[in-house]
Structure 1
Amino acid sequence: LLGLFAFALGLALCAAFTPLVNLMAGRTLSLGYFLEHPLNLALALLLALGLGLLAGIYPSFYLASYRTVNILRGGDVKSGRSVFRSALVVLQFGLAIAMIISTLTVVQQLNYMKNKDIGLNKDHILLVDMNEEANKAFETIKEELLKSSDIQGVTASGQRLGNNFHQWGFKLRTDSIFGMTPSNVNVDYDFLDVYGIELQQGRNFSKAYASDKDYAFIINASFAKELGMADPVGVSAGHSWYPDDSLGTIIGVAKDFNFNSLHYDINTLAMVVHPDWGYDELSVKLQGGRIEAGIAEVERVWNELVPGWPFQYSFLDEHFEELYRSDRQMEAVVAIMAILAIFIACMGLFGLAAITMEKKTKEVGIRKVLGATAGQIVMHLSKNFAGLVLLAFALFSPLAFWAMSRWLENFAYRIEVSPLAFVFGGLLALAIALLTISFHTLRHARANPAEALRTE
């Protein structure tokens, strides 16, 4: 019966908290899917009944083996059950501590990624997908938009920042010609300016140089480092299909910037102005504080010059946030699991404290008669439970460290597992444990010793 009641309570709690879990984790979980399948429901019922039977079998055998004379004499329960209960509390609090540490580590990593300087300015960048019609009108679109005080800059690119750039064959000529395979992106002349990407060497693209169209390349610092050149500006270079006698030139080296998510290292990159290839993404830098007005202006110009293609926009910072959606979902799931683990551990500890305090009623009475204060009694009663939490911390902290170290390996740019997460996790668990048992310890510490000793 207890198992069935627990099953019904579990279903009710699941139904009540599923919307909250979906909201936090960004999922669309539904209890209806589970209930619509009779097999799932039957297995869950059998599991609930099985757990109820298992929970009752051990006490039944234990009581059946206990001698009646010991019961009549007021004999105490054997220490075996006490050890088993304590082990369960250690397990529960150990898992809770591990989940607390994991939650703190995930939060720290996500905050690190959010605040890390990625070498470009992604704020207030409006993105609009371009088609052939938009490409033909690009120069006019750009000219019209730059007339507005609500717009700081306009550019375009063949691929969106935050996505994996295509890797094409690339060749360079020094004493001889050799090939490489960097990431490549087709950009407009003002790409670096709009995105705030800094030049380390050389110059930016410019329409003042006719060769900057198709035959000028700006590489990133990682590319220059891989070339092993202190100053690669002026080196002959081109895509793999360029004839060896018609290569372009590296005109600049940009500081490294993260054009992909922080899960990945910065790859070697070559940027080139190839307007004839067409652009896929229009990038508009809006004036801060004038976002709505800027969007309205872009929409007006777009509808006027590209009437055959719908105006659909997004923001670059939102796109980068989307790259870490699964990590944020994990953060929410781990936090929920930590809360549940703490709740279950507290229930177990509360029950263990109730049993333990009843056994120590006479001991508490004697200590009070001998002059012990309420504070001393609370400290005495609490130290064993604190020891269980400390044992749980010692056993499960290495597990949390290993799990978080493995998870952080998914990021090229990551924090180190912080000792503060372990200190905070352990202290929080200890505080929760002491607060949980305080009801019993304070009640017994304040009790009249005569009540405890009169049955002796």
Structure 2
Amino acid sequence: LGSMNVTHDYHNWQKFDGKYIFVFSLLAVFVLLIAAINFMNLSTARSSSRSKEVGVRKSVGAHRLQLARQFLGESVILAFIALAVAVLLAEVALPLLNTISRRSLELNLFSDPALLPGMIGFTFLLGLVAGIYPALFLSSFQAVEVLKDKTPASGRKVMLRNVLVVAQFAIAIALIVGTALTVQQFRFMKDRNPGFQRDQIVLLKMNGTSNNKYDLLKEEFLRNPAVLAVTASGQRLGNNIHQNSARTRGDSAEIRLSPSHLHVKRNFIEFYGLEIVAGRAFSDEIPTDKRFAYIVNEALVKDLGWDDPIGKQFGVSWEDTLGTVIGVVKDFNFNSLHHKIQPLYISSQDWGYDEMSVKISPQNYAAALGHLEKVWNEHVPDRPFQYIFLDEHFETLYLADRQVSQIVGVIAGLAIFTACLGLFGLAAITTEQRTKEIGIRKVLGASLLNLITLLAKNFVRLVLLAFLIAAPVGYFIMQNWLQNFVYRIAIDWWVFLFAGGIALVIALATVSTHALKAALANPVEALRYE
């Protein structure tokens, strides 16, 4: 696969984290494990259909080792056929993956000298692992018994088959739980109130001309009633806010620190609806607010241990004169929710600004945008009119998270589908092996419901056992995963019932198809030769 950036860029737009690549690899291993379990289960379940072949081969001199090699060879050949199909499916599915991940991945088997040999070696190993138990089991049949139509029953074989069914459904249930909680967590992060208003706010990138003409642009923008308010700032909320060196004077000495810094117009606090919990906001009527006034957040107050921050001396480290803290703003998430709230100070010096924020009416946003573009092109001819909505910007902050939840959902769905395919085949073979028993029971008066219950109850028990294993394991894994997030959901009990319910319904639907077919069959056909 093509290289994938697994870091974060300057603007804090979350890209694929390296740990997600590990998670995807682990999920792929789970899918392979379920597929291998299916192969072992189905191979041993249909052993009766190959028992006579084993008997004939042994009667003409074949040794157990020769038969085991034959069955292992068949398993390896099937694995390589699966590899070829997988490469074709990967080529077909790659455009969908690129659409979800918004990347340009490509499958090039010769891009890395170790890739193709690695795939071949892994496929060979997978074929051996998946085929070793069926090979040993089938080659253990005694020629005399199988040629007399006495396929040896093995309690250990049935026990192992049940263990494998439980294992694959435990994995499937855990994946359902993981997918549900992943979607919940990322939706929670996207929808959580960051502590400021972000709807219907248009952001315009500024240059020297627009800075020089800010007051004129603001006045012209506000002439349209669809434009509600205008402000400007040196940084965009949600981006990687700069950390600046600052200082304050304590009781006995000067204290230096490096909090995050927002450089804003004086109406920024009111524009974004930030809550002042002590002191006041900036004011155009007070001349000192233009340079020597600062507003700090609660995190900075806590960090410095201030009981009464209003009036405290505070300033940037490169200026000789310290200013004054005039207000405290309630903590808000000025970065994305991937990060905890850091100490922050806000200043309003007229140093020049990077971005204008324009609040527009939701009823007339098209007219408002048209007016903004017209005014901008008239007064700022040296910079094209470019805008983005702030809520769209925040969507990009959680884009990678949404991609991860979608990919996890696809992989989990594939795992569940694979488990159901195995259960479907196993149910078909089990039902076929009990055809005569079903015929006798029907002759003796068993009802349709009795027969369906008879055939389905064992699988239901296995799924319930899988749920009892998957629930605590899934809880432990997801609880640890959620610790990676500063703001996280609580794990609700209904998620586990939801996952177990889905697995149970799917298992019942899968098994009942064969059970119903067998129960409706004419018992005469099953008992004709008895």
The reply to whether residue 130 of structure 1 matches residue 209 of structure 2 is no
Partners in 1 of 2:205 and 2:305 — Cα distance? 37
Deviation for aligned residue 1:53: 6.3
Equivalences for residues 375-454 of structure 1 within 5 A: 375-454=449-528
Q: Which residue pairs with 1:196 in the alignment?
A: 273
Q: Pick which of 255-264 and 296-305 moved more.
A: 296-305
How is 1:34-433 mapped onto 2 (pairs within 5 angstroms)?
34=109, 40-41=115-116, 44=119, 48=123, 51=126, 58-71=133-146, 72-173=148-249, 175-179=251-255, 180-243=257-320, 246-275=321-350, 277-433=351-507
Aligned amino acid, residue 344 of structure 2: L
- Kept after mapping to 1: 8 A contact 2:174/2:474: yes
Structure 1 Cα separation of the partners of residues 443 and 435 of structure 2: 13
Change beyond 3 A, Cα 1:201–1:61: closer
CA distance in 2, matches of 1:414, 1:55: 39
SS in 2 for 1:34: coil
- Contact conserved, 1:216 with 1:272, CA < 8 A, in 2? yes
RMSD: 2.5
Partner of 1:274: helix, strand, or coil? Answer: coil
* 1:311 counterpart SS class: coil
Between 1:79-88 and 1:337-346, the stretch displaced more is 79-88
Give the CA deviation at 1:134.
2.2
Aligned partner of 2:370: which letter? A
Question: Which deviations, in whole Å up to 9, do the C-alpha atoms of 1:228-248 show, x marking residues without a partner?
Answer: 4454222232223343xx322
- How far 1:194 sits from its partner (Å)? 1.6
Q: 1:402 to 1:449 in 2, by over 3 A?
A: same
Residue identity over aligned pairs, in percent, reads: 46
Distance 1:143 1:286 in 2: 14
Judge which range, 402-411 or 311-320, deviates more: 402-411
Residue 90 of structure 2 is matched in structure 1 by 14
**Contact conserved, 2:177 with 2:474, CA < 8 A, in 1?**
yes
Q: CA deviation at 1:381?
A: 1.5
The 2-side partners of 1:339 and 1:299 are apart by 46
Residue 441 of structure 1: CA displacement? 1.1
In the aligned structure 2, how far is the partner of 1:54 from the partner of 1:226? 57
> How far is 1:29 from its partner?
2.7
Equivalent residues of 2:190, 2:398 under 8 A apart: no
1:272 alignment partner AA: S
* Greater alpha carbon shift after TM alignment, 16-25 vs 430-439: 16-25
State the number of aligned residues: 452
The 3-state SS of whatever aligns with 1:289 is helix
Instruction: Give 1:47 deviation, angstroms.
Output: 5.0
1:52, CA displacement in angstroms? Answer: 5.0
Q: Is the 8 A contact 1:85 1:352 kept in 2?
A: no
Q: Aligned with 1:282: secondary structure?
A: strand
1:82-122 deviations in Å (ceiling 9; x for gaps): 33333332232222212111111011112212221111111
Which shows bigger deviation, 403-412 or 252-261? 403-412
1:135 CA displacement = 1.7
CA positional deviation for 1:164: 2.4
Q: CA deviation at 1:174?
A: 5.8
3-state SS of 1:298 partner: helix
Deviation of the 1:42 alpha carbon? 5.8
CA deviations on 1:152-206 (whole Å, 9 max, x unpaired) are 1111111111122222233334644542432111110111122121222222211
- Residue identity matched to 1:321: E
* AA at the equivalent of 1:303: N
CA 1:450–1:76: 2 relative to 1, 3 Å: farther
C-alpha distance 241-426 of structure 1, shift in aligned 2 (>3 A): same
Q: Deviations over 1:371-410 (max 9, x none)?
A: 3211122122212111222222233333322332233222
In 2, are the aligned partners of 1:349 and 1:437 still within 8 Å (CA)? Answer: yes
Q: CA deviation at 1:344?
A: 0.6
Q: Distance in 2 between matches of 1:166 and 1:184?
A: 6
Cα distance, 1:51–1:451 mapped onto 2, change above 3 Å: same
Contact 1:92 1:344 in 2 (8 A): no
| Conservation of the 8 A alpha-carbon contact between 2:313 and 2:323 | yes
CA drift at 1:342: 0.8
Structure 2 distance, partners of 1:326, 1:50, is 34
Cα deviation 1:113-143 (Å, max 9, x = unaligned): 2221111111121112222222222222222
AA aligned to 1:200 is: V
Kindly indicate whether the alpha-carbon contact (under 8 Å) linking 2:141 and 2:152 is maintained by their aligned counterparts in 1: no
Counterpart residue type for residue 282 of structure 2: F
The residue type paired with residue 187 of structure 1 is: V
**In 2, Cα distance between the equivalents of 1:122 and 1:446?**
62
Using the alignment, how far apart are the partners of 2:135 and 2:187 within structure 1?
Answer: 52
CA separation of 1:444/1:51 partners in 2, compared to 1, >3 Å: closer, same or farther? same
Q: Is the 8 A contact 2:259 2:342 kept in 1?
A: yes
CA distance in 2, matches of 1:401, 1:387: 21
Q: Distance in 2 between matches of 1:236 and 1:52?
A: 72
Q: Secondary structure at the match of 1:211?
A: helix
TM-score between both structures, scaled by the size of structure 1: 0.91
Question: TM-score normalised to the size of structure 2?
Answer: 0.79
SS in 2 for 1:74: coil
SS in 2 for 1:165: coil
Gaps of 5+ in 2: 1-76
C-alpha distance in 1, partners of 2:166/2:223?
Answer: 68
1:431 corresponds to which letter in structure 2?
V
Change (3 A) 1:59 1:406: closer
Query: How much has 1:315 moved relative to structure 2?
Result: 1.8
Q: Distance in 2 between matches of 1:370 and 1:5?
A: 47
Q: Work out whether residues 93 and 341 of structure 1, in 8 Å CA contact, stay in contact via their aligned partners in 2.
A: no
Aligned partners of 1:267, 1:359: CA distance in 2, in Å? 66
Q: Secondary structure at the match of 2:109?
A: helix
Moved more, 183-192 or 11-20: 11-20
Question: In the aligned structure 2, how far is the partner of 1:59 from the partner of 1:101?
Answer: 32
Partner secondary structure for residue 265 of structure 1:
coil
Secondary structure class of the residue paired with 1:260: coil
Distance 1:30 1:103, change over 3 A: same
Contact 2:232 2:356 in 1 (8 A): yes
